[in-house]
C-alpha cells in the first residue's frame, strides 16, 4: 500500500532541501532531495509551471523562482498581477516552506504495509454455518476473501477463524489462514490476535459476512489512513428503505470526514421535515493502526457501545477520532436466510455471479 510519509526532518541550502520520512511505526525509512526553484531561474517546464509548487502556475516566475502559486504577484504580496513575481529573500523561504508542506502531505516515497484480516466463525445462531453457505456456487468466505485479495493496496489477506472446517477450506484453496482462540469475544478481538504475530503498519478488518465486499471498498477505506489517522471506515448514501431501519447503522460526519456519531436511530433528525437531509449508511469495514487496535481490545465495553450495540462507539467514547470515506457501493451483511436470498439477487443483477 502506498501512503504519504511523515516528514520528520529537513536540512539543506538555498538550492536543495533533504527530507527524511518515517513509517507508521516511527522508523526512518528513507530520505530524498527536493531541488528548489533556484536551480532553474526560468521556473519553466513542459507544462508551463514547475511540479513542486514553488513557482507560479503559468511558468512566468522570474528571478529566484519566487512567483506565487496563483500567478498574481511575488511571495510577499507586493508584486504585480501578471504572474511575473519578483523579489528575494523572504519569498525564497516562504516558497520552500509551502513546497515542504505539500511534499509532507502528498509525496509517496515509502510503502506502508496494510494487511487485511477476515474474522470468520462458524457458530451463528441466526444462520448456522454462515461462512460456508454457498452463494451462487461460491461459499460466503470465498467471496469475501476474493474481494479483499483483489485490492492492490493490501500486502496480505488472512482469514482468522476458530473452526477446523473453515481452516481446512482455506488451506484447500491455498488461502492464508490462522487459527484463533474460541475465547475471542468479537471479530475485532480475532483481528487483534492475528495482528500480534503479523507485523503491519495498518490492519484492515473485513467482516466475513459481507459477500458484497469489493476492492473499491478497501481502496476508499485506505485512502483516509493518512499520517495521524488511527482509525478509518467507510459509508454510502442511505436508501429510502434503510433510513428508518435500525439494522442499517447511520453515520454523520464533520466537513473533514471525521465521524461525529454512529446510530441505529435516524440521524440527523429532519426537524422541519423539508426532506432535504441526506442520510448515510455505515459499512462494516475498518482500518486501524497497531496502537488503536491494541487500545480498543484492552478497553472495557463503553456506555454508548452498550446502548447502541455498536462497538465503534468505544473509540468515540475514548476520544479516538474515526475518519470515514464515502463509497457508492452498498453492501448487505448476511445474518438470515432472507439476507442470503437478497445477496443472490443483487449479485445476479450486477452480473457478479
Domain housing 84: 2-106
Indicate the burial class of 83 (C-beta count within 10 angstroms; 0-12, 13-18, 19 or more): buried
Domain boundary among 58, 84, 106: 106
Mean per-residue pLDDT of the chain:
80
Enumerate residues 6+ apart whose C-beta is below 8 A from 120. Answer: 131, 141, 144, 159, 160, 161, 163, 166, 208
pLDDT of residue 57: 44
Q: What is the pLDDT of residues 107-163, one digit of tens each?
A: 443 468 999 999 998 887 788 899 999 999 999 999 999 999 999 999 999 999 999
Q: Which residue has the cell 437531509?
A: 277
Helix count and strand count (H, E) for the chain: 9, 16
Q: Which of 84, 106, 128 is the last residue of a domain?
A: 106
- The verdict on 69 and 100 lying in the same domain is yes
Residues 6+ apart with CB under 8 A from 266: 243, 244, 250, 279
Residues 322-327 have a mean pLDDT of: 98
Pair 37, 143 in one domain: no
Calculate helix-pair angle for 290-298, 187-195, nearest 10 degrees. 130
Q: Which 3-state string (H, E, C) describes 229-289?
A: CCEEEEEEECCHHHCCCCCCCEEEECCCCEEEEEECCCCCCCCCCCCCCCCEEEEEEEEEC
Specify whether 76 is located in the same domain as 121: no
Domain-ending residue, one of 106, 140, 159: 106
**Same structural domain, 167 and 264:** yes
Same domain, 177 and 300: yes
What's the confidence (pLDDT) of residue 100?
64
Quick: pLDDT tens for 255-264: 999 999 999 9
Q: Are residues 72 and 203 in the same domain?
A: no
- CB neighbours of 352 closer than 8 A, spacing ≥ 6? none
If asked whether residues 157 and 185 sit together in one domain, one would say yes
Q: What is the pLDDT of residue 90?
A: 56
Residue 93: what pLDDT?
Answer: 66
Q: Tell whether the model's pLDDT for residue 13 goes beyond 60.
A: no
Here the cell at position 284 is: 462494516
Q: Are residues 242 and 302 in the same domain?
A: yes
Percent of the chain with pLDDT over 70: 69
C-alpha cell at 207: 467482516
20-69, pLDDT tens digit by residue? 444 444 444 444 444 444 444 444 444 444 444 444 444 444 444 444 44
Same domain membership, residue 12 and residue 68: yes
Question: How much is the average pLDDT of 208-232?
Answer: 96
Please report which residue ranges of 89-176 form alpha helices under DSSP H: 90-106, 140-149, 164-173
pLDDT of residue 124: 78
Q: Which of 329, 353, 335 is nearest to 218 (CA)?
A: 329
Q: Do both 37 and 156 map to the same domain?
A: no
The pTM score is 0.71
* Cβ-Cβ contacts under 8 Å for 74 (sequence gap 6 or more): 66, 67, 68, 85, 86, 87, 91
State yes or no: cis peptide before 268, omega within 30 of 0.
Answer: yes
- CATH number of the domain bearing residue 313: 3.90.550.10
Domains of the chain: total? 2
Q: Which helix (H) or strand (E) holds 315?
A: helix 313-317
Whether residue 56 sits in one domain with residue 168: no
157 and 286 fall within a common domain: yes
Please give the helix or strand (H or E) that residue 2 lies within, else none.
strand 2-3
Amino acid at each position: 500500500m502506498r501512503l504519504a510519509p511523515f516528514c520528520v526532518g529537513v536540512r539543506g541550502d538555498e538550492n536543495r532541501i533533504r527530507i527524511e520520512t518515517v513509517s507508521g511505526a516511527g522508523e526512518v525509512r528513507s530520505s530524498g532531495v527536493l531541488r528548489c526553484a533556484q536551480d532553474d531561474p526560468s521556473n519553466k517546464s513542459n507544462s508551463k509551471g514547475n511540479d513542486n509548487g514553488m513557482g507560479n502556475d503559468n511558468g512566468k516566475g522570474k528571478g529566484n523562482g519566487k512567483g506565487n502559486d496563483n500567478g498574481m504577484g511575488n511571495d510577499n504580496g507586493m508584486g504585480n498581477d501578471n504572474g511575473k513575481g519578483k523579489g528575494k529573500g523572504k519569498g525564497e523561504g516562504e516558497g520552500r516552506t509551502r513546497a515542504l508542506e505539500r511534499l509532507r502531505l502528498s509525496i509517496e516515497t515509502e510503502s506502508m504495509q496494510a494487511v487485511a484480516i477476515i474474522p470468520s466463525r462458524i457458530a451463528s445462531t441466526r444462520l448456522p454455518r454462515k461462512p460456508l453457505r454457498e452463494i451462487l456456487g461460491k461459499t460466503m468466505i470465498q467471496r469475501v476473501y476474493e474481494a479483499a485479495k483483489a485490492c492492490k493496496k493490501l500486502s496480505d489477506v488472512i482469514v482468522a477463524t476458530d473452526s477446523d472446517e473453515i481452516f481446512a477450506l482455506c488451506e484447500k484453496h491455498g488461502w492464508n489462514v490462522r487459527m484463533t482462540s474460541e475465547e475471542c469475544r468479537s471479530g475485532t478481538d480475532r483481528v487483534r490476535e492475528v495482528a500480534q504475530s503479523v507485523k503491519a503498519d495498518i490492519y484492515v478488518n473485513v467482516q466475513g459476512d459481507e459477500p458484497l465486499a469489493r476492492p473499491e471498498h478497501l481502496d476508499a477505506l485506505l485512502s483516509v489512513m493518512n499520517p495521524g489517522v488511527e482509525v478509518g471506515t467507510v459509508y454510502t448514501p442511505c436508501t429510502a428503505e434503510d433510513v428508518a431501519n435500525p439494522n442499517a447503522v447511520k453515520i454523520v460526519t464533520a466537513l473533514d470526514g471525521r465521524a461525529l456519531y454512529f446510530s441505529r436511530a435516524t440521524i440527523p433528525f429532519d426537524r422541519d421535515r423539508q426532506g432535504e437531509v441526506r442520510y448515510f449508511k455505515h459499512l462494516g469495514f475498518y482500518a486501524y493502526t497497531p496502537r488503536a487496535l491494541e487500545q480498543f481490545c484492552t478497553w472495557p465495553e463503553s456506555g454508548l457501545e452498550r446502548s447502541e450495540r455498536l462497538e465503534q462507539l468505544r473509540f468515540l467514547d475514548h476520544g479516538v477520532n474515526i475518519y470515514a470515506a464515502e463509497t457508492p457501493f452498498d453492501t448487505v451483511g448476511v445474518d438470515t436466510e432472507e439476507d442470503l436470498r437478497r445477496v443472490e439477487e443483487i449479485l445476479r443483477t450486477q452480473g457478479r455471479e
